[in-house]
């Protein structure tokens, strides 16, 4: 007959083995696979893109808020993507509803492929010269597509990958440049939503230098500063597509106008959300 101590030993041994088997089965059920997709041949999906610009002084005091939104469709014939329902909202309140809405008709129906030079001034021929936020919408999604699909053959689970070939100065369609200093991608693991398996890729690049100039008729605006940005991309394993994205950016800027002697230091916080519609 077993003693009480022996019975406890057997019980905890069985409990440990059961937990180990369950953990092993859970890992196998998650199926650690990183999806891959080409930009020219993929199923059609549409996304809601929302980017908030939160403007502060360098002491963290709120000044204003702006949101630019649009619907982005990928997987169209010939590898095209297209924008629709693009609009801008502004508010002088940190929270609550926006006070105004401006439809950006010049961006609606804007269609292109990623074989085109999206950094050339002529690429945005139909856009107003001061439409930096709308152009940023295009560049942000191009960057997210690149982070999502450009390195799937190089990423290893939980090992930071330095995308060195993407570092360097990027011209901004005649408005200045953005200098990517060190883009780091990390495949963090797997998760699930209600219906499907998702792979998670974190991205970050810090201390990036930027300079932007915009001519507004009789006035000239210019700014320079540094950017930190980071976030997470969730990729659907079954559908081979982006499921959702969160991006955060903190930009410290020196802003100047040609008709003002004093320059201003500001902190711009950007929050971008990409949500799959279908």
CA distances (Å), origin 196, targets 41, 74, 134, 156: 22, 20, 32, 21
Q: What does the mean pLDDT of the chain come to? A: 89
Q: Does 23 score more than 50 pLDDT?
A: no
Q: Does 251 score more than 70 pLDDT?
A: yes
The pLDDT value given to residue 16: 43
The pLDDT value given to residue 40: 75
Local structure of residue 79 (DSSP, 8 states)? G
What CATH number does the domain located at 31-276 have?
A: 2.30.230
The pLDDT value given to residue 188: 97
> Do 242 and 47 touch, CB atoms closer than 8 A?
yes
pLDDT over 70 percentage in the chain:
89
Give the global pTM.
Answer: 0.87
Q: Where do the structural domains in the chain lie, given as residue ranges? A: 1-30, 31-276
The pLDDT value given to residue 8: 41
The pLDDT value given to residue 1: 53
> Do 106 and 127 touch, CB atoms closer than 8 A?
yes
Q: Which two tokens stand for residue 250?
A: 């903190």
Quick one: average pLDDT of 154-160?
96
Considering only residues 249 and 221, tell me which one the structure prediction assigns the higher pLDDT. 249
Cα 85 to Cα 97: distance, rounded to the nearest angstrom: 19
């Amino acid at each position: 007959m077993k003693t009480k101590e022996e019975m406890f030993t057997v019980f905890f041994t069985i409990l440990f083995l059961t937990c180990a088997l369950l953990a092993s089965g859970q890992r196998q059920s998650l199926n650690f696979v990183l999806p891959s997709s080409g930009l020219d041949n993929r199923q059609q999906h549409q996304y809601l893109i929302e980017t908030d610009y939160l403007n502060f002084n360098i002491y963290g005091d709120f000044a204003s808020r702006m949101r630019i939104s649009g619907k982005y469709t990928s997987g169209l014939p010939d590898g095209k993507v297209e924008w629709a329902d693009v609009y801008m909202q502004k508010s002088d309140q940190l929270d609550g509803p926006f006070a105004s809405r401006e439809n950006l008709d010049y961006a609606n129906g804007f269609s292109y492929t990623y074989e085109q030079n999206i950094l050339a001034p002529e690429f945005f021929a139909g856009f107003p010269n001061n439409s930096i936020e709308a152009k940023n919408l295009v560049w942000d999604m191009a960057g997210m597509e690149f982070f999502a699909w450009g390195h799937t053959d190089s990423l290893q689970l939980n090992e930071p990958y330095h995308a060195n070939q993407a570092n360097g100065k990027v011209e901004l369609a005649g408005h200045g440049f953005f200098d990517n200093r060190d883009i780091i991608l990390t495949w963090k693991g797997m998760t699930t939503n209600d219906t499907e398996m998702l792979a998670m890729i974190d991205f970050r690049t810090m201390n990036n230098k930027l300079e932007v100039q915009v001519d507004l008729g009789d006035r000239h605006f210019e700014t320079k500063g540094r950017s930190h940005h980071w976030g997470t991309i969730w990729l659907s394993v079954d559908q081979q597509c982006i499921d959702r994205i969160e991006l955060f950016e903190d930009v410290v800027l020196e802003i100047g106008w040609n008709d003002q002697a004093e320059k201003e230091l500001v902190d711009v916080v950007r929050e971008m959300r990409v949500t799959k519609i279908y």
